[in-house]
Structures are given as structure tokens and as C-alpha cells.
Structure 1
Amino acid sequence: MEGVEDSFRWGWEKDFSYSVRSGYRAMFRGRIEMPGALQIWRSRAPPNCRLFLWLAARNRCWTADRLSRRGLPHPASCPFCDQSDETLNHLLMGCVLAREVFATCLRWWGFVAWLQGKHGGPGGDRDLCTGVTLICWCLWRHRNDVVFDRVAPSKSTVLSRISDEAELWRLAGIFRGFLAPVDKWRCRE
């Protein structure tokens, strides 16, 4: 067939012409979103903390279970409680120390009242995600101190670190909703 010219047609637009907007939409078509990803990336926490939480959510942090799968030297059990295998889930949520830290922080924040009445005001959900990121970040840093610097595991050390870090985050304008008054976070157990 002579006389018929080839032409390009972009199937993502009605007029078949390419646009960056439709190209961007096409690139993400059919993706599967990971639960919690939006909350991690919408958090106001510093980028390194959000990246840590993203890696933690995808179980990509170097804990004993991951080291053992690769035949690398690893601790025999959780460096905090010495009662269970060291997995990321155990370190950040299941360990006795982690649960006590979360319970104390939620009490500091008046979380039950916030949850019942959603009195967090604008930005309350983002503040909560940011606060959870802060807790996980401080638990991870304390774990590293225990493993690499031979520091004794301590709930009060983690809570003090959370209080100090929260003050820095407040000064940077990271907390804006119900977590903004971090002065009430001072270690008072």
C-alpha cells in the first residue's frame, strides 16, 4: 500500500496526542499501593526518618533475622528484652520496651481523648503519623546504641531522646496540631 503514512497515536488521551500529564498517569497505572505508604510520606518528619520508616515497613532494615538469612553474624535475641528473636516487628512494636515507650508517649499526648473526640484540630492525623515516626526512629537509634556501643537498654533513655528530638522538631515547625506543645512531653513517668 503506497501513499499511507505511519503516524503515532497516544492511547491515553482522547485526541491521541501525548502530554506529560497523561504519560505520568500511564506510568502509575495498575500499581499496587503499599498500606501505610501515604501516611509515611505525608508525615512531617525529616526525610531520613521517613526513609527509615519506609524501609521498616518494607522489612528492609538489618536486624538479626535478615542477617541470619544471609549467613552473617547476628545477635542471638532482641537486644532490648533478650526474650525473643530480633525482628523489626518485634523491635518496634512487640518488645516490652517498645510497648512501654509507645504507651507512655500516647499517654503524654492525650491520645485517647484525641481519638474519642478527634480534637487534634487541623493537621492532627499528620501529627500522629509524625509522632509515630519519631518513636520508631528513636527506638531504632537506641537499638543501634545497644548493639554497637554496648549501651544498656533503657526505657527512660528512649523517652528522654524522644523528648529532646521532639523539641528540635517543634522548633523546626514540624509539629503543628495536637502534638505541638511538646513541653508537656518532658520525661515524667
Structure 2
Amino acid sequence: MLPGEVDDCYVGLFKTWGLHSIVDGASVTRGSGAKCSEERIWKILTLPNIRMFLWRAVSSALAVAERLKSGGLGVEITCKLCQGGTETINHVFFQCPTATRTWSDVGIALPIASLQCSLEDNLSFAFDIMEDKSRPQTLVRTVPWVLWLIWKNINSIMYAETQIYQEKLLRDMIEEVEQWFMLNNAAPRDTVERPCLQNCDRWLPPEEGLIKCNIHANWRSTALHSGIAWIARDQAGNVSHHARDAITHAPNRMVAEIRYVIWSLTSLSDIGVTKVIIASDYNEVLKEKFAMVAFEGETITANGIARDIAKSVFRDGRFQSCLALGGPSWLHDRLAREKN
């Protein structure tokens, strides 16, 4: 690592400019309620950008007047739409008459106590609706989009000076929700992850037409070596192929696990397997590091920013490893556009 031109100093963890504030301390000690809500967000079936938007809401990282004021900007904190309260994240989504009217038009009645409840409590109410099996599925699915609609509508009125009929906004939102679930064929996450297999102590066959490939890495910490193997079987339990190998320079078990997943997929592709279920006990490793891990497919356009950062390595000669807060300065405009 090359030495920098700035002297060593203590910096705040949550600020790119290095200063620590009371807000930073509060963000560390927000309590279990916010942490619980954050964990629930990553399991919500919705667009990735809406999921990130919800995470920003729970983390108090949305640009409402109260947040801007606490960051040192001299802004008026009264809600510009209703003039009846402080423009907090909680007020914008659950207490402003514009927001409560949107919830009502969708068919969700906010509890009277929401006016006195905290942001965590009100968000928990919204998240609970998404898990309420007694409500119509079409209603339950719209909740993330309702929050997103409220936020976009307020920004459109305040900054773009554009106001669209509420009926059209709701109609477009419902159509978008239906299209997303139809295109993604989104089933509840518990169904996708097949929890029944996690509690079964015997091997179970795949569905007809699929190959089930069990994989494992036997990591040895002393030598940083790992023995890796996979075995593929069909619905009748007949073995089609198996493979084994040794890998080196795996500093921990998680690295070994990820490398052998790539190795097994490459091997299966080489022998012409096109429909496969990868079965492993590496969930234990992931749970040690993460509260939740999910993989999503993106189009080339939707994944454009990550692709451009990767291309810059060769294009601009950026061969030094880098891990930094925030995004690259040369992509700030595109990142800002994608947030909306």
C-alpha cells in the first residue's frame, strides 16, 4: 500500500469527510427496533432500488428537512405540504395528510396511534401487513411501492413543481406491482429457499428434469488448503458425475466455500448440465458473517454502474485495490439519478 499525503488522524466512521457528530453516535445506538426492521427489509419482495430506499428510511438517511437541519443546513423544518408538523421521515410517510390519504386510497387504514408512534413502530406496522396472510395478496404486495410512491410524489410536488392525479398514480403503481410479480414469478422467500430441506437429515432427490449437485469444501486452517468435491444425481438418485480437487491460499472457510461454488458451476457447465440445484451446508458459514444473503439477476443496463467501475480498472490503470465509503466521484450524477 502506498503512503498517503495526509497525516494519520481519528475520523468518524459514518462521515466521508472524517468528522464525528452526535448524529453518528445516535445511529450506532438506535436500538434493536431499527436493527430488526433493517433485517426484515432484505426479505421484502420488491425492486432492489425500493429495498435500498426502505433501508435508507429505517437508517434515517433520507433527505427530509429535519435530517438536513441536523446536518447543519439552514432549512425550514416545517412540512411544506401540510404546514402542520415537522418534516421528519415518520411525518412524511405516516403523519402528513398527503401520506395518510394515499394509504387510505390504497385500502390500508393507518392506526390512530400512528400520529404518536415512532418511525420504527410505524414501519413495523407496514412490514407486518406484508406478512399478514388474512389480507388480500394484491394489497399486501403493494406496501413497498406505496412508501416509494409517497416519497416520489412529495419530491415531485416540492422540487419538480409537478402534481399528478392521485388516481393515475395509484393505477400506475398497481400496474407496476402486477408486472413485477408476473415477470419475476416471485414466490415467498421461505418457499424459494425450501426450508423443509434444511431440517431433513437424509438426502432428498430433485424434481424431474433437474440435477442435484451436492458440494463441500474441507478447509484446513493450518495449511490454508481445502479439499473440494461435488457429486451430481438425478431424480432417481442415479449418479451422473462426481469430481474432487484441492485448492490453496484460502485464508478462511468462507473464501474456500465461494471458490468451490464457482469451481463446481464451471465443471457442470463444461459437461453440459443446464438445469441444476446446488446443495450445500455452507449456510452455517454465511450465517456467521451475515444476517441475510440473497442473489438477484440484473440486466446489463441495471447493473451498468458496477460494470463501469470494473471496466475502469483496465481503462484507467486502476490496479491498486480499493475499498472506500460512498461511490466514485465520476459516477455521482448517475448514482443520484438512479436513486429516483
Q: Same fold (TM over 0.5)?
A: yes
Between the aligned partners of 1:39 and 1:106, the Cα distance in structure 2 is 23
Aligned AA (1:47) = P
State the structure with bigger RCO (CA 8 A, min sep 6), 1 or 2.
1
1:162 aligns with 2:170: yes
Tell me the TM-score normalized by structure 2.
Answer: 0.34
Contact 2:142 2:177 in 1 (8 A): no
Between the aligned partners of 2:105 and 2:54, the Cα distance in structure 1 is 20
Give the equivalent residue in structure 1 for 2:158.
147
Between the aligned partners of 2:170 and 2:161, the Cα distance in structure 1 is 20
* Higher helix proportion (structure 1 or 2): 1
Q: What is the Cα deviation at residue 166 of structure 1?
A: 2.2
Contact 2:145 2:177 in 1 (8 A): no
Give the equivalent residue in structure 2 for 1:55.
56
1:96 aligns with 2:92: no
Stretches of structure 2 lacking an aligned partner (at least 5 in a row): 1-31, 110-128, 188-340
Q: What is the Cα deviation at residue 67 of structure 1?
A: 0.9
For 1:173-188, what aligned pairs fall within 5 Å after superposition?
A: 173=181
**Structure 1 residues 59, 36: CA separation in 2 closer, same or farther (over 3 Å shift)?**
same
Between the aligned partners of 1:86 and 1:39, the Cα distance in structure 2 is 25
Give the equivalent residue in structure 2 for 1:35.
36
Between the aligned partners of 1:131 and 1:42, the Cα distance in structure 2 is 15
Contact 1:77 1:86 in 2 (8 A): yes
Aligned-pair identity (%): 22
Provide Cα deviations, 1:25-56, integer angstroms capped at 9, x if missing partner.
xxxxxxx6812234322222100011001110
Equivalent position SS for 2:36: coil
Stretches of structure 1 lacking an aligned partner (at least 5 in a row): 1-31, 109-113, 178-189
Give the equivalent residue in structure 2 for 1:16.
none
**Structure 1 residues 93, 164: CA separation in 2 closer, same or farther (over 3 Å shift)?**
same
Aligned AA (1:170) = E
Between the aligned partners of 2:177 and 2:133, the Cα distance in structure 1 is 23
Which protein is bigger by CA-based radius of gyration? Answer: 2
Equivalent position SS for 2:35: coil
Contact 1:92 1:136 in 2 (8 A): yes
Aligned AA (2:170) = I
**Structure 1 residues 94, 100: CA separation in 2 closer, same or farther (over 3 Å shift)?**
same
Name segments (4+ residues, structure 1) moved above 6 Å: none
Give the equivalent residue in structure 1 for 2:73.
72
Between the aligned partners of 1:119 and 1:51, the Cα distance in structure 2 is 27
